[in-house]
A and B are shown apart, each in its own frame.
Chain A
Amino acid sequence: MNYKKLKKARVIISLLFFALTASLFLDIYERYANDTVHEILFLQFVPSLMKFISSLAIGAIGFLIIIAISAFVGRFYCSAICPLGILQDIFSWIAKKRSSKKFFYKKKRAYPILRYSLLGLSAVALIFSFSSIITLLDPYSNFGRIMTYLLRPILVVANNGIAALLQQVEVYSLHPVKLVMAPWFIFLLTLATFITIGYMSYKRGRLFCNTICPVGTFLGLFSKISFLKIQFDVDNCTKCGKCIGECKSECIDLKNFSVDHSRCVDCFNCLAVCEDSALKLSTPGSKTTTQGDKSRRNAIATGAALLIGQKVLADIKPSKDTSKLIEEKRDHPVAPPGALSIERFNDICTGCGLCVAACPTQVLQPAVMQYGLKGMMQPHMDYISSGYCNFDCRGCGQICPTGAILPISIEEKQITQLGKAVFVKENCVVYTDGTDCGACSEHCPTKAVNMVPYEGNLLIPEVDQSICIGCGACEHPCPLDAPYKAIYVNGNAVHQAAEKPKEEEQTTAPVEEDFPF
């Protein structure tokens, strides 16, 4: 086998997967992400697993294919498909280019206790539906958040800059896109994750993948017993050490002529660099001794102190005298249409941020503590600062790779009640100022918020909760500042079916005369 070509093929496949996956999160013009997402993300391990568990979808067997591949050839997933793995390879590649060391990597020992503890913790979290652990550790979701909350804003700013320049010369082919930043806490957490993973990979290659990532550890269980393995041909080896210098997983042991296959990510760099045909990809057999792994036990680590969360509240300064206004009381946050219930949604979502990136109105934003600790970084409907749910859109359910948001039909979406609008008359400008407003009713797609006669010529909102779908079209434009909105949506813990607005007869002209003047 020509190992140089094998490595080249791995690099090409990985760059392809990386570019396609990244582009889904960076599709700021909403051109294609919705149509291609399920093909592109089919093989992503955790999304596929979550979808399989949540909906028993036959189409969601990508993770089984990955397990099969791992059992056949090893952790090819980690090198060629996992976007976070490929991102780390980019950092390692730069580090290696900049380094003057002859042998960049050295053989290092594994950290079995840590990695198997984290795998065990993830398994327990999966069984007991404490998805925060998965959210924090899943490589795909971490990659998604890096794209959505860090890179996408940079792209938007760059796009807006270029669009503004083009507009100076009256070219309107690019247009500005609304820049929405994630809440500070989420932004900083993502940035910290990015810097940590980036630093680890810059210094020590796939250290993250072989100590922290539960997917890597899990697939390592299969790669250890895989059909094809990278092995030494001891007779040919000159102990030149080039393979060790290339090994991002730091898992080649030249003393014992062994490779720690649980850590090997199938990058094939060692194969490509070996000029003595001392390394080969073949079935286990002759001349090699594998070191027994002593700690197979999945010790369950205690004290996952990763979750020190602090609610970061935006500094809201109401412009009006608020002493007489009533503060809102929300029983639940609002989960996106297709979530079915907050509990179900919280169990499945891994907070990858793809729906946040794809939401055309950007009403979907990562939660800080709105859902509690369990739902941190999962999207919720942020009607106050971001927008409201477009009546004719169901994009989040179509794009969600885990099935946390199910792809419901548009007819179903338009009667799915995410919450109920609550009108607070005491806060309404019609009541406080005695002037017309009605912004809430204007935007309401079902006219659940209707304007009814008030004092004199004035009209005041009235809510019919039976036809309200909780889309937030009333709350968002309400001119008052939170938490004193005159109308707000109180989330439903379990989504309900709203009644359809009454279908009336087509109206006739209000006046019969052709020209009533």
Chain B
Amino acid sequence: MKRRDFLRTGIGASLLSGALPLFGGLESINGMPTTSSYDIAAVRGGNGADMFDRAIEAIGGMSKYVKPGQKVVVKPNIGWDAPPERAANTNPEVVARIVKRCKEAGASEVYVFDNTCNKWDRCYRNSGIEDAVKAEGGKMVPGNTESLYKEVDIPNGVSLKKAKVHKMILESDVFINVPVMKHHSSTRISLAMKNLMGVVWDRKFYHSNDLHQCIADFCTFKKPDLNIIDGYNMMTKNGPRGVSVADVTNLKALIASTDIVAADAAATKMFGLQPDEIGHIKIGHEMKLGNMNLEELSISKQKMA
């Protein structure tokens, strides 16, 4: 239904390029959906931006998530002072395309930020994300001082009962989470759930109070409306910062889902790991924050030429 409405109203010719595979007869394993969209979209083989267009199409199109006049916050991983090819941060092309599509869908503002690990302005600049976002009309917002964060209660959290959360997360209408697929020395891998550590101020609390539990606890407070896991470049070892480009493989993958646990479960398998091996994903599933059993979900799998 949604898709038909969407195509009929035809929000922008540019979006049609994203819709092309539906008509072009490219591989779409589960066949063409008619009325409902998929739980997860997985795309391989394209550049980051085009894979995003395919994926968002398969889960209902951008207009399903962003309505005209809404404020959108996009949270990529911009944690490190490293260039795009190191895959320590989300691919700037993916972030830029998301900003663009949000704008096309009528978003009044698109804000992008991260609470970085390295010096924030260097991260914003050297990741390539600042320039890419600004070029598409998005706004970079700092996340470097405590005054930008507001304390909230997390009543359903087990370890994490309170956290200082970035005001953008609290004040925006739509929250899009855009992690990069990375190995991670502490949590084994860093995906959508882990990326949300970048919207809180005090990460040390997580580290000293059962890291995996805290990561899952945060999702009881706020789940993103959309999770886009960028795997165009994947860091397979020495994460989350990486030492050199030798830690990176050009995977050309992207996973999208509204279910943060499901998205992480699918991406985990890209590492050759099982979702229940990753503490926070397992806890997230058990706390019913999402579904890590991929066999119970409908997955759109598309391969681009």
Interface residues of A (CB under 8 A from B): 30, 160, 164, 167, 170, 172, 175-178, 320, 360-361, 390-393, 429, 433, 435-439, 441-447, 450-451, 457, 459, 477, 479-480, 501, 503-511, 514-517
Pairwise interchain contact A360-B122, C-beta atoms closer than 8 A: yes
Pairwise interchain contact A515-B184, C-beta atoms closer than 8 A: no
Which residue of chain B lies nearest to A179 when distances are taken between CB atoms in the complex? B145
Provide a sorted-by-A list of 15 A–B residue pairs whose CB atoms are within 8 angstroms.
A172-B141, A175-B142, A176-B142, A176-B144, A390-B81, A392-B126, A429-B207, A437-B211, A451-B186, A479-B205, A507-B237, A507-B247, A508-B249, A509-B234, A515-B301
Residues in B with CB closer than 8 Å to A164 are 147
How far does the alpha carbon of A313 sit from the alpha carbon of B241 in the complex, in Å? 33
Pairwise interchain contact B147-A160, C-beta atoms closer than 8 A: yes
How far does the alpha carbon of A342 sit from the alpha carbon of B142 in the complex, in Å? 36
How far does the alpha carbon of A505 sit from the alpha carbon of B244 in the complex, in Å? 10
Residues facing A in B96-147 (CB within 8 A) are 109, 117-119, 121-122, 126, 139-142, 144-145, 147
Pairwise interchain contact A433-B119, C-beta atoms closer than 8 A: no
Pairwise interchain contact A457-B279, C-beta atoms closer than 8 A: yes
Pairwise interchain contact A436-B144, C-beta atoms closer than 8 A: no
CB within 8 Å for A450 and B185 given contacts A172-B142, A439-B203, A479-B204: yes
How far does the alpha carbon of A216 sit from the alpha carbon of B303 in the complex, in Å? 76
How far does the alpha carbon of A208 sit from the alpha carbon of B240 in the complex, in Å? 55
Pairwise interchain contact A514-B44, C-beta atoms closer than 8 A: yes
Cβ of A388 to closest chain B Cβ, rounded Å: 9
How many residues of B sit at the interface, in one of the four size bands? 35 or more
Residues in B with CB closer than 8 Å to A391 are 81, 118
How far does the alpha carbon of A510 sit from the alpha carbon of B265 in the complex, in Å? 15
Which residue of chain A lies nearest to B118 when distances are taken between CB atoms in the complex? A390
How far does the alpha carbon of A226 sit from the alpha carbon of B303 in the complex, in Å? 84
Is B246 an interface position by the 8 A CB rule? yes
Pairwise interchain contact A507-B279, C-beta atoms closer than 8 A: no
Cβ of B263 to closest chain A Cβ, rounded Å: 11
Question: Of residues A438, A442, A451, which shows the largest number of chain B Cβ atoms within 10 Å of its Cβ?
Answer: A442
Residues facing A in B230-262 (CB within 8 A) are 234, 236-241, 243-249, 251
CB within 8 Å for A514 and B303 given contacts A361-B119, A501-B243: yes
Which residue of chain B lies nearest to A450 when distances are taken between CB atoms in the complex? B185
Question: Of residues B236, B245, B270, which shows the largest number of chain A Cβ atoms within 10 Å of its Cβ?
Answer: B270
How far does the alpha carbon of A172 sit from the alpha carbon of B119 in the complex, in Å? 18
Pairwise interchain contact B249-A477, C-beta atoms closer than 8 A: no
B240 contacts which of A429, A442, A459, A503 (Cβ < 8 Å)? A442
Cβ of B235 to closest chain A Cβ, rounded Å: 9
Q: Mark B265-295, 1 if CB is under 8 A from A, else 0.
A: 1100111100001010000000000000010
Is B299 an interface position by the 8 A CB rule? yes
Residues in A with CB closer than 8 Å to B272 are 510-511, 516
Which residue of chain A lies nearest to B71 when distances are taken between CB atoms in the complex? A170
Is B187 an interface position by the 8 A CB rule? yes
Pairwise interchain contact B118-A447, C-beta atoms closer than 8 A: no
Main SS at interface, chain B:
mixed
Cβ of A97 to closest chain B Cβ, rounded Å: 39
Pairwise interchain contact A511-B139, C-beta atoms closer than 8 A: no
Residues in A with CB closer than 8 Å to B119 are 360-361, 390, 393
Which residue of chain B lies nearest to A514 when distances are taken between CB atoms in the complex? B44
Closest 4 CB pairs of A and B: A438-B186, A479-B208, A441-B185, A176-B145
How far does the alpha carbon of A170 sit from the alpha carbon of B73 in the complex, in Å? 13
How far does the alpha carbon of A511 sit from the alpha carbon of B294 in the complex, in Å? 17
Which residue of chain B lies nearest to A505 when distances are taken between CB atoms in the complex? B246
A433 contacts which of B187, B204, B208, B239 (Cβ < 8 Å)? B208
Question: Of residues A160, A436, A511, which shows the largest number of chain B Cβ atoms within 10 Å of its Cβ?
Answer: A436
CB within 8 Å for A443 and B251 given contacts A392-B81, A515-B44: no
Residues in B with CB closer than 8 Å to A437 are 186, 207-208, 211
CB within 8 Å for A435 and B117 given contacts A506-B246, A507-B236: no
Which residue of chain B lies nearest to A511 when distances are taken between CB atoms in the complex? B272
Cβ of A399 to closest chain B Cβ, rounded Å: 16
Question: Of residues B140, B246, B248, B265, which shows the largest number of chain A Cβ atoms within 10 Å of its Cβ?
Answer: B246
Pairwise interchain contact A172-B185, C-beta atoms closer than 8 A: no
Pairwise interchain contact B211-A506, C-beta atoms closer than 8 A: no
How far does the alpha carbon of A392 sit from the alpha carbon of B272 in the complex, in Å? 32
Pairwise interchain contact A507-B246, C-beta atoms closer than 8 A: yes
With A436-B210, A438-B187, A477-B203 given, can you name 17 additional A-B contacts, CB distance below 8 Å?
A164-B147, A167-B148, A172-B141, A172-B142, A175-B142, A177-B145, A361-B118, A435-B211, A438-B184, A438-B207, A442-B239, A443-B117, A447-B243, A504-B246, A506-B248, A511-B271, A516-B269
Cβ of B189 to closest chain A Cβ, rounded Å: 10
Residues in A with CB closer than 8 Å to B247 are 504, 507
Question: Of residues A360, A435, A451, A501, which shows the largest number of chain B Cβ atoms within 10 Å of its Cβ?
Answer: A435
Is B212 an interface position by the 8 A CB rule? yes
Cβ of B255 to closest chain A Cβ, rounded Å: 10
CB within 8 Å for A503 and B244 given contacts A442-B185, A450-B185, A457-B279: yes
Q: Mark B11-40, 1 if CB is under 8 A from A, else 0.
A: 000000000000000000100000000000
How far does the alpha carbon of A505 sit from the alpha carbon of B249 in the complex, in Å? 10
Residues in A with CB closer than 8 Å to B245 are 506
Question: Of residues B142, B187, B212, B243, which shows the largest number of chain A Cβ atoms within 10 Å of its Cβ?
Answer: B243
Pairwise interchain contact B42-A178, C-beta atoms closer than 8 A: no
How far does the alpha carbon of A433 sit from the alpha carbon of B251 in the complex, in Å? 36
Residues in A with CB closer than 8 Å to B244 are 501, 503
Cβ of B257 to closest chain A Cβ, rounded Å: 12
Cβ of A446 to closest chain B Cβ, rounded Å: 6
Pairwise interchain contact A443-B241, C-beta atoms closer than 8 A: yes
Residues in A with CB closer than 8 Å to B271 are 510-511
Residues in B with CB closer than 8 Å to A444 are 241
How far does the alpha carbon of A103 sit from the alpha carbon of B29 in the complex, in Å? 96
Pairwise interchain contact A436-B211, C-beta atoms closer than 8 A: yes
Residues in A with CB closer than 8 Å to B266 are 517
How far does the alpha carbon of A517 sit from the alpha carbon of B29 in the complex, in Å? 12
Pairwise interchain contact A506-B249, C-beta atoms closer than 8 A: yes
Cβ of B269 to closest chain A Cβ, rounded Å: 4
Which residue of chain B lies nearest to A451 when distances are taken between CB atoms in the complex? B185
Which residue of chain A lies nearest to B240 when distances are taken between CB atoms in the complex? A442
Pairwise interchain contact B241-A457, C-beta atoms closer than 8 A: no
Cβ of B39 to closest chain A Cβ, rounded Å: 12
How far does the alpha carbon of A508 sit from the alpha carbon of B239 in the complex, in Å? 15
Pairwise interchain contact A436-B187, C-beta atoms closer than 8 A: yes
How far does the alpha carbon of A509 sit from the alpha carbon of B44 in the complex, in Å? 12
Cβ of B160 to closest chain A Cβ, rounded Å: 13
